Homo-oligomer: A and B are copies of this chain.
Amino acid sequence: MPEIRKDPVFGRWVIIASERGLRPNEFRPAAGGGAGHVCPFCPGSEDLTPPSIYTLPAAGGGWRLRVVRNKYPALVSEGSPDSRRDGIYDSMDGMGFHEVVIETPEHGLTLERMPAEAVADVIRTFMLRVREIKKDPRIKYVMIFKNHGRNAGASLQHPHSQIIAMPMAPLRVQQEIDGAADYLTERGTCVFCDIVREETAFKKRIVAGNADFLAVAPYASRFSFETWILPRSHSSHFEDMPETLAPALAEVLKTALGKLSASLGDLSYNLIVHTMPVQDPAAEHYHWHIEIMPKLSHVAGFEWGTGFYINAVSPEEAAEILNSGRKYSV
């Protein structure tokens, strides 16, 4: 069983999950990704994954989307959310859920090239799974994320996202929520609503948008071509978004990823849904959003040591390049 350990200085949690070392990696041919490798997420290989938790059927038979438990889970459903003392240290069982959303049966597709309706299916599936998972009162936070490409830490190429449900709100999430709460106290508004207003007026950092969502290169971008997607209306919980907005979000997501991929070529990125802890009530100070972090270079010691980032492309340049369709090479 995985174990969750707490760093006694920083308060940061770490999952020690020895089984994860065994998972295959397509990008590392020596470890089972060479010729003749069978993709466990392709149709016909359903017996290579744990059974489906949720399936959307395809019109002509088969499936168009599947959710399965991760075969090499970072957290498992058994165990207690109580912490133990181990000398000066604290730990607890690695309790939680780890699911994989197989976004399409087509191995070689990408989100930006999928039909808008299929991307909307992926978004509705994320919401549905969170609403289901949060019925378990032990679960405090549900993290939805996607690693695309080798430099972003993906181990399989077939389009997929992951959902990890955990028994506490992670430190970084709590810090972001606290920062937003401080902003509300000081200035009387939601910081993300202010960002939407400021960026709509300033225009030069906008990457995509429609009546319901705005995609921008954020003012303090940590990574070259970092892109955030924010709902224009205030809402703290992603899973409470009206389902009727899924097509509008799919449209902005496809446009933003399409521009990134046109300018950056073979793009690696991490996509993360930032949202409130699932058992918390709707909040005035927090506003869910999506952060897309292209990985053009390796994060180095300075960033690790300081939490301070060095970015060689200003967000204004990034938006200009993305909107012109110009190629950018590192």
Contacts and interface: CB of A to CB of B under 8 A. Distances in A.
Interface of A: 3, 5-21, 28, 31, 74, 86-89, 141, 143, 145-147, 150-154, 162, 164, 166, 170-173, 175-176, 179-180, 183, 191-192, 194-195, 198, 202, 218-222, 224, 270-274, 291, 293, 295, 297-302, 304-315, 317, 330
A18 B298 contact: no
A179 B10 contact: yes
A242 to B, nearest CB: 24
10 contacts: A6-B220, A8-B219, A16-B315, A17-B310, A74-B310, A88-B194, A152-B300, A152-B301, A153-B301, A170-B307
Nearest to A300: B153
Contact of A299 (B5, B14, B299): B299
A202 B87 contact: yes
A20 B152 CA distance: 22
Given A147-B300, A221-B14, A302-B162, A9 B176 contact: yes
Nearest to A315: B16
A17 B304 contact: no
A15 B145 contact: no
B14 A308 contact: yes
Minimum-distance CB pairs A-B, first 3: A153-B300, A172-B307, A145-B301
A313 to B, nearest CB: 7
B16 A314 contact: yes
B306 A18 contact: no
A135 to B, nearest CB: 22
Nearest to A8: B191
Contacts of A176: 9-10
Contacts of A141: 306
B302 A7 contact: no
Contacts of A298: 150-153, 295
